[in-house]
């Protein structure tokens, strides 16, 4: 199992070598660390959790336009040279990777396994807090979206967000980041998200105070 995990890490490290949208190898690494913290209290299969965390972004719709299920199945077949994974394991990994993304769950929440729920929470923890602020500006900057348009403190509809995302960097906080805390699956993740959420709220208060000349 350790050899399979190591091969998967190497694949992701190579795949993310030129990644500059906040979905790089270090995002994957943090998600894996978050998952370890959640697993300690919530349980599940730690090996499958780590495999989901490692592969969850590799064929995400933001970067890949093909069939993610087919590509994930092909990737797992190449990685699993010792044939460690059962058919059920593969299905769990593939369906979790395809369905755990935030945008995929905006309109309708997808059902996930226990491992998928933990991986989803681990991914979402990296979407709220200090690092999430940095990732937001990196991601929206890469998309050449403006930083802020006054009066944007109202989230777009779920359908609009799923279709085209946020219009600006600050808009992304209202459309997604401030909503993450209440979308956690596990009690452990909910507790971990509270302080991160408060940090984002404080940042936005400061941003708007400076923007509007109150400071």
Domain-wise residue ranges, the chain: 2-211
Binning pLDDT at 50, 70 and 90, where does residue 23 land? Answer: very high
pLDDT band at 80 (very low <50, low <70, confident <90, very high): confident
Q: What is the mean pLDDT of residues 107-126?
A: 92
Question: What pLDDT, on the 0 to 100 scale, is given for residue 150?
Answer: 87
DSSP state for residue 173 in the 8-state scheme: H
Mark 64-76 as b/e (b = at least 16 C-beta within 10 Å).
eeeebeeebeebb
> What does the pLDDT average to over 1-20?
92
CATH number of the 2-211 domain = 1.10.3210.50
pLDDT at 107: 60
pLDDT at 156: 61
pLDDT surpasses 80 at 209: yes
pTM for this one?
0.91
CA distance 194 to 83: 40
Phi, psi of 202 (to 5 degrees): -65, -40
With a cut of 90, say whether residue 208 has pLDDT above it.
Answer: yes
d(CA 93, CA 79): 13
Write down the pLDDT at residue 184: 95
* pLDDT above 70: residue 157: no
Q: What is the mean pLDDT of residues 151-164?
A: 65
pLDDT of residue 155: 64
**Positive or negative, the Cα torsion across 109, 114, 116, 118?**
positive
How much is the CA Rg of the chain, to the nearest whole Å? 18
**Mean pLDDT score of the chain:** 90
Sequence-ordered list of residues with C-beta below 8 angstroms from that of 59, at least 6 positions apart, any chain: 66, 68, 71, 72, 97
28-53: average pLDDT: 96
C-alpha 62/C-alpha 118 separation (Å) is 22
Kindly report which listed range (47-51, 75-79, 100-104, 118-122) carries the lowest average pLDDT score: 100-104
Q: Would the pLDDT of 96 be above 70?
A: yes
What number is the average pLDDT over the span 17-46? 94
pLDDT of 199 = 98
């Amino acid at each position: 199992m350790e050899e399979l995990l190591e091969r998967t890490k190497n694949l992701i490290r190579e795949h993310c070598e030129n990644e500059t949208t906040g979905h790089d190898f270090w995002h994957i690494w943090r998600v894996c660390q978050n998952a370890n913290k959640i697993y300690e209290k919530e349980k599940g299969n730690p090996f499958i959790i780590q495999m989901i965390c490692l592969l969850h972004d590799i064929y995400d719709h933001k970067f890949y336009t093909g069939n993610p299920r087919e590509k994930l199945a092909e990737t797992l077949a190449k990685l699993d040279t010792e044939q460690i994974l059962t058919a059920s394991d593969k299905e769990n990994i593939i369906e979790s990777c395809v369905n755990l993304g935030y945008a995929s769950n905006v309109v309708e929440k997808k059902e996930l396994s226990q491992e998928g729920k933990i991986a989803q929470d681990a991914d979402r923890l990296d979407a709220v807090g200090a690092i999430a602020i940095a990732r937001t500006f990196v991601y929206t900057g890469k998309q050449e979206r403006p930083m802020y348009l006054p009066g944007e403190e109202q989230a777009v509809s779920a359908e609009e967000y799923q279709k085209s995302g946020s219009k600006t960097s600050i808009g992304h906080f209202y459309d997604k980041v401030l909503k993450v805390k209440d979308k956690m699956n596990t009690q452990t993740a909910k507790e971990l998200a509270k302080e991160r959420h408060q940090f984002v709220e404080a940042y936005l208060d400061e941003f708007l105070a400076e923007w509007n000349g109150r400071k």
